[in-house]
Amino acid sequence: MLFQHILFIAAMTASVCSHAETHHTKVSSTTVTNFSNFHSGQEYCADQVSKDPKIQSCMPIYNENNNAFLNIESKVIGSPQPVAPGTVFTVNDHHETDSINFVVTNAVANKVIFSGPVYDMLGIICDYNSCKPWK
């Protein structure tokens, strides 16, 4: 009986620990201003890592468009997330991840402008019609 209790406690502890490890992904948005202009995804990610040294993966999506919101979708973030003009949407992770697949839609035109991988420490920059690597 004691063995069964120990086994049950061990199983519950393992379950809690496994569940806790999945909470290292953080989604955030940052408005780009004259005081925080980033010229590349790598520069933006370096700033993120300086604020949180545990970050090992950073996938920024910069909406440089002045007029249209973007909608960002991915299995990692769940439901579509709106991204305002002049805002950087970021998925940071405390585990190494090479890339995450995203679908980016221009919310005004309701048109997909990007579908594919966003790479770690590079990201993409989007205008009204398309996205490209943020170099």
Is the per-residue pLDDT at 35 higher than 60?
no
Neighbour count for residue 40 (Cβ, 10 Å): 17
pLDDT tens for 58-86 read 999 999 988 899 999 999 888 899 999 99
pLDDT at 45 over 70: yes
pLDDT for 23 beyond 60: no
CB contact at 8 A, 88 and 60: yes
Whether pLDDT at 1 is above 90:
no
CATH of span 25-133: 2.60.40
Residue spans per domain, the chain: 25-133
Model's pTM, two decimal places? Answer: 0.77
Q: What is the pLDDT of residue 62?
A: 95
